[in-house]
Structure 1
């Protein structure tokens, strides 16, 4: 089932998410719905807060980047209770966007290498290192579970320059090709 994606301005996007246990209700369905939602919106990652759940869960399918980095062919993963161990390497810019912030893209600097601890969809523990675009997509989605958005990485001046667009998104004044939930739009309108 396609889920509505929570838009910029919703308080859930600024909350630090909580770890979950294997008995979290309907977890397998939630993961399947998140993949369906992400693919329908043409994204490469989606975090649970973006669909209204303040839990440490995010999914990634970075396969669309395999032309740039062949290692990303079939790079599809589920991250549960992820915790960043280390971020190293030179920071490099990449033009990022976010399904919760449609029509805004900005160059964001992130470290080129990460080490992360997480559980997969079967609650098997992993500790892995990632680099390049895989590291970037993971960092972007991981930020969501820490209550951060890519716009939080912008300079104050750059953020002021896009603030009207951000406010419009929270009011539903934006075109998205997928279902969204806007915090500043009253029900029944």
Structure 2
């Protein structure tokens, strides 16, 4: 069953999340429902705060994006040895970011219908626990690294909008107010701020 995704304006999206204990009750069921929610919303990443859980937990599927791209486009988005990944990240910490950056369009399931160009490091090294709670340290680049950084930010209470220049943010204010008010319908279950006030 899909979980409702919190819309822009919810306080949970601005909270720094808590570490997930190794034997957190219902963790596997939560992860499974998050995957169902992610695919039901046709997304490539989802973080626990987006489903109203203040946990350092997020999912990334860059493999689907890799397979959707034409061969000639892949080299601009993916490192040569990267065919995408499908991974669960628990208690993640980015330990290194490359000086090299790149700009690309990002969107967010919590901010339906809006996209913006965001500059991020091309490569990151991240420590995390996988779904089996095995510790990992891996380096990712390109679109995979971008997706990981976007979802990692959610666990820090950061949205991609925070990287935009003030004028660009100002131009989006009217649309953001409509999202907060529940006036922008999504093609997946959402929980708007207005739902909790009524």
Q: Would you say 1:165 and 2:175 are equivalent positions?
A: yes
Deviation at 1:75, TM superposition (A): 1.2
Q: Rate the CA distance shift 1:26–1:136 in 2: closer, same or farther, 3 A.
A: same
CA contact (8 A) 1:63 1:72 kept: no
- Hey, what's the Cα distance between the residues in 2 that align with 1:41 and 1:175? 13
Please, which runs of 5 or more residues in structure 2 have no aligned partner? none
Q: Would you say 1:48 and 2:58 are equivalent positions?
A: no
- Hey, what's the Cα distance between the residues in 2 that align with 1:37 and 1:71? 29
State the partner residue of 1:118.
128
State the partner residue of 1:64.
64
State TM-score, norm by structure 1: 0.95
Deviation at 1:181, TM superposition (A): 0.3
- Hey, what's the Cα distance between the residues in 2 that align with 1:187 and 1:74? 40
State the partner residue of 1:11.
11
State the partner residue of 1:177.
187
Q: Would you say 1:156 and 2:161 are equivalent positions?
A: no
- Hey, what's the Cα distance between the residues in 1 that align with 2:81 and 2:182? 38
CA contact (8 A) 2:94 2:125 kept: yes
Deviation at 1:74, TM superposition (A): 5.8
Deviation at 1:64, TM superposition (A): 2.2
Higher helix share: 2
RMSD: 1.4
Note the 1:88-127 alignment, pairs <5 A: 88-127=98-137
- Hey, what's the Cα distance between the residues in 2 that align with 1:180 and 1:89? 37
Please, which runs of 5 or more residues in structure 1 have no aligned partner? none
Which is further off, 128-137 or 72-81? 72-81
Q: How many pairs are equivalent?
A: 188
- Hey, what's the Cα distance between the residues in 2 that align with 1:167 and 1:92? 29
Deviation at 1:83, TM superposition (A): 0.7
Deviation at 1:45, TM superposition (A): 0.3
State TM-score, norm by structure 2: 0.91
State the partner residue of 1:31.
31
Deviation at 1:175, TM superposition (A): 2.0
